[in-house]
């Protein structure tokens, strides 16, 4: 079972960016969230890292954090 990441936007225009798995690490998807929108995403065969740009609450199995 792959891990989930939950991102709740605390402001408009938060970007949740997926980065590719493998030797070539690049952005492959960017999802824009407005305030109070929530995105639930998994780490997959294609996605090894997630970058969050903008103020948000982020939950993973490692805990909850905010970048506010």
Shortest Å distance, C-beta 11 to ligand TRP: 19
Site pattern 14..53 for ligand TRP (x: CB under 6 A): --x-x----------x-x---------xx-x-xx--x---
The strand order across the sheet containing 4-9 reads 38-42, 4-9, 56-60, 63-66
With beta carbons less than 8 A apart as the criterion, state whether 3 and 62 touch. Answer: no
Could you list the residues that contact ligand TRP (CB under 6 A)?
16, 18, 29, 31, 41-42, 44, 46-47, 50
């Amino acid at each position: 079972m792959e891990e989930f990441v939950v991102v709740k936007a605390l402001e408009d225009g938060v970007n949740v960016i997926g980065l590719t798995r493998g030797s070539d690490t690049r952005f492959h998807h960017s999802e824009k969230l407005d305030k109070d929108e929530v995105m639930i995403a998994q780490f997959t065969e294609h996605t090894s890292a997630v970058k969050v740009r903008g103020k948000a609450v982020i939950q993973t199995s490692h805990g909850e954090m905010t970048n506010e």
